[in-house]
Amino acid sequence: MKTILFIKTWRCNKCNSAMDFEPTELNLSVHFQGLKDNECSNKFSRGCTGQMVKVIDEKMKSMLTIMGEEDIETEITEVKERKQKGEGRGNDPDVSTLAKENVYRTKRKQDILEAIAKVKLLEDI
């Protein structure tokens, strides 16, 4: 089952642009030049004079969806179909045997768990 998490979000009170990090001058300087605390990231590109405000309403927060284990089977099927059509990609996993499929399943399950753990650090509860 897919995992849906709502993460900490700040939105501009004028143009509604969003960011997922606290808009301190230090944090902003990593991504943008010349912004002060809470200034909208669109200040220079679009002339916005708004302020970034932390979002409380869950409907306005940024949402991340992490694939579920059922998506792994879809991935395996798509890889096999591409291979049959001769359209394989260089980064396709090797799922040519049941043992290799199982190794891939295990790896992807671990990837999902790691992604959930990382995103939970950003979650706004």
Dump the DSSP string for the chain.
Answer: --EEEEE--EEETTT--EESS---HHHHHHHSSS--TTB-TTHHHH----BEEE--SGGGSEEEEE--THHHHHHHHHHHHHHHHT---TT----SSHHHHHHHHHHHHHHHHHHHHHHHTTB--
How confident is the model over 73-86, as a mean pLDDT?
Answer: 93
Say what the pLDDT of residue 86 is: 87
Say what the pLDDT of residue 125 is: 65
Mean pLDDT of the chain: 93
Model confidence at 90: pLDDT above 90: no
Q: Give this prediction's pTM.
A: 0.70
